[in-house]
Structure 1
Amino acid sequence: MKRYKCLFFGTPEFVLPVLEFLYTGEDLLGVVTQPDKPKGRGLEKAPSPVKKWALSHGLKVFEPVKLKDPEFLKAIQSLSPELIVVFAYGKILPREVLEIPPEGCWNIHLSLLPKYRGASPVQWAIFNGEKETGVTIMLMDEGMDTGPILLQKSLEISAEDTSLTLLKNLSALSVIALREALSLWKKGDLKPTPQPDEGISYAPLIKKEDGFFTFEEPAERILRKLKAFSPWPGLYTHYHGKILKVHSAKSYPLTEDKPSGKILKISPEGILVATSQGAILLEEVQLEGKKRISAYEFALGQRLKAGDSLAL
């Protein structure tokens, strides 16, 4: 079967399985990724995972600040790519790029479009308690995840899934979906289908404040925040004017109403706290400026006891 001359646009680590698939299955000309960004305490500039992978495989790497840069456009036009595959690149492609490959620009989006268009579909699907998500291979246009659908694969979201575990599963499913879509496309058996007008929703970029919670929220909502927004921005609240991060927790039903934030029990298992609906067992926490410890150690250190309030 014909191998396409491809360019890959992507940035984070979870896209590497797709990059590896294109490297072995098609003629990969190079990658386009976000410029090096400051990382760590020293804020030294670090390459994206896609750049590191591409350089280790001897591939061309492009890091344009602006996708309409004439020099960048000239450079990728000279490569004559037949297909561009985009997966978590981080920017919307302009018309000048979309018009380059004759087979089009394909985007791999981690939701069942038109649900959860936007930058953070995995996190918002978990936060909203969705039971199912999936992968959409779409033909790109100038909108944000608005192009016609080529192929979709669905995936169940388990009760234990976090954004990290779901992302890993969706990354693996993306390879399967792209392989099938390319095979069908090359045979002429795949036709773009416009997205329906019904069922459109959005998944905006995650902000730091999305991880904040109070005990006035239901326990299940707090737990969904923990699963959705770890490792960043993480789940956190305020305690005596400082940030208290929650690294591990469980929700519990309550048979009677208790004031939100009231400590119901302290044990080696953790701190059981009432919420507006149900209770949450804090297992591992981290007070601002301190190391991560068990909630039981935190309770002992703060001299907390049942009946005290954490709603501070």
Structure 2
Amino acid sequence: MRIVFMGTPDFAVPSLEALLTKHEVVLVVTQPDKPKGRGKKLVPTPVKACALEHGIPVVQPEKVREEAFVEELRGYAPDLIAVTAFGQILTEPILNMPQYGCINVHGSLLPKYRGAAPMQWSIIDGETVTGITTMYMAKGLDSGDMLLKKEVEILPEDTFQDLHDKMAKAGAELLLETLDAMEAGTLTREEQDHDKATYAPMITKETGHIDWSKGGQEIINLIRGLNPAPAAYTEYEGEVLKIFRAEKWQEDVPEAACSEILAVTKKGFAVKCGDGALMVLELQARGGKRMSADAYLRGHEVKTGVLLQ
């Protein structure tokens, strides 16, 4: 099959590499390069970098609905369009273009966690199992018919980065399995139960603001789900501290207001939360490096009795 691949971030690279082992990828479509660093130099997307390494033509439309892009895409006569974390919603002319349709690799067990950030929210919500779903793309948001699924375990210590890496590998494997079944004529489609759909909205900076009145495990899950970026955060006397790791503190917790710093130890500092206290173990101050809390405490004073904001 002549395949056009659409994808953008690191998560999509294993899917592209998997396709290249068995199929003809005639074009890669990815988001435009973005400026990064102090010099604001344009940096190619991870998928673009991978495509160029393999000598595959790359197109980077600002908006896929633009007529000029649609006509350019039509010129490649794709039999199938495979999509993994592309970042734009495909229009009907594109969805209807390939003979075998448009197949999406989605990072959840649909219909749960439709939307932009299914992996982060699965950790934040305390899930222990998530997975990949391949699906036919339709006009709605992640609402097309499901094809194959693969479960992925979320371990108690898994961060978003850990889960991302496991899911990227599982997504690549499932995409190949889906195309194998399609070519063998054994692929079946299942309509989603839209009444069971849940939404995983885009992660914003404010998503990471820690509410210390919540339970300890809920806060730990938030920290894990936003590690490494954009990171959960709190404020100590006006200074923003990104928090990357915390654990539940001792059982016998003194009476205090939620968000109050209860103790400073060689390991870190303990903060009162809704059902006990958490020991902060890894953090980053504005303009500083990510470091263990004990290293931070060697160069910064953290006082008990202060309320984090």
> Partner of 1:7 in structure 2?
4
* Separation of aligned partners in 2, 1:158 and 1:292: 23
- Structure 1 residue 293: Cα displacement: 4.1
Q: 1:257 to 1:283 in 2, by over 3 A?
A: same
> Partner of 1:263 in structure 2?
261
* Separation of aligned partners in 2, 1:295 and 1:53: 37
| Contact 2:112 2:197 (8 Å CA) reproduced | yes
Q: 1:72 to 1:304 in 2, by over 3 A?
A: closer
Question: Which residue, out of 111, 123, 140, partners 2:137?
Answer: 140
Q: How is 1:63-74 mapped onto 2 (pairs within 5 angstroms)?
A: 63-74=60-71
Give the unaligned 5+ runs of structure 2: none
| Contact 2:226 2:232 (8 Å CA) reproduced | yes
- Structure 1 residue 263: Cα displacement: 3.1
| Contact 1:111 1:134 (8 Å CA) reproduced | yes
| Contact 1:219 1:277 (8 Å CA) reproduced | yes
- Structure 1 residue 280: Cα displacement: 0.9
| Contact 1:153 1:173 (8 Å CA) reproduced | yes
- Structure 1 residue 297: Cα displacement: 4.6
- Structure 1 residue 228: Cα displacement: 0.5
| 1:235 matches 2:232 | yes
* Separation of aligned partners in 1, 2:185 and 2:56: 30
| 1:277 matches 2:270 | no
* Separation of aligned partners in 1, 2:159 and 2:291: 21
> Partner of 1:287 in structure 2?
285
* Separation of aligned partners in 2, 1:304 and 1:204: 35
Paired letter, 1:281: M
* Separation of aligned partners in 2, 1:262 and 1:105: 52
Q: 1:17 to 1:298 in 2, by over 3 A?
A: closer
Q: 1:105 to 1:225 in 2, by over 3 A?
A: same
Paired letter, 1:284: E
* Separation of aligned partners in 2, 1:205 and 1:148: 23
Paired letter, 2:284: Q
> Partner of 2:82 in structure 1?
85
When normalised by structure 1's length, the TM-score is 0.93
* Separation of aligned partners in 1, 2:61 and 2:228: 28
- Structure 1 residue 225: Cα displacement: 1.2
SS in 2 for 1:198: helix
* Separation of aligned partners in 2, 1:135 and 1:180: 12
Q: How is 1:1-312 mapped onto 2 (pairs within 5 angstroms)?
A: 4-252=1-249, 254-256=251-253, 258-259=255-256, 260-299=258-297, 301-305=299-303, 307-312=304-309
| Contact 2:253 2:277 (8 Å CA) reproduced | no
| Contact 1:219 1:252 (8 Å CA) reproduced | no
When normalised by structure 2's length, the TM-score is 0.94
* Separation of aligned partners in 2, 1:105 and 1:216: 45
* Separation of aligned partners in 2, 1:28 and 1:192: 24
Q: C-alpha offsets along residues 37-71 of structure 1, whole Å, 9 cap, x if unaligned?
A: 11112222111011111111111101011212222
Q: 1:179 to 1:291 in 2, by over 3 A?
A: closer
Give the unaligned 5+ runs of structure 1: none
* Separation of aligned partners in 1, 2:21 and 2:88: 26
Count of aligned positions: 308
Paired letter, 1:152: K
CA RMSD of aligned residues (A): 1.7
Paired letter, 2:234: T
Q: 1:105 to 1:284 in 2, by over 3 A?
A: same
| Contact 1:248 1:283 (8 Å CA) reproduced | yes
Q: 1:309 to 1:225 in 2, by over 3 A?
A: same
- Structure 1 residue 277: Cα displacement: 1.2
| Contact 1:9 1:31 (8 Å CA) reproduced | yes
- Structure 1 residue 287: Cα displacement: 2.5
SS in 2 for 1:195: coil
| Contact 2:84 2:106 (8 Å CA) reproduced | yes
SS in 2 for 1:92: coil
* Separation of aligned partners in 2, 1:290 and 1:187: 55
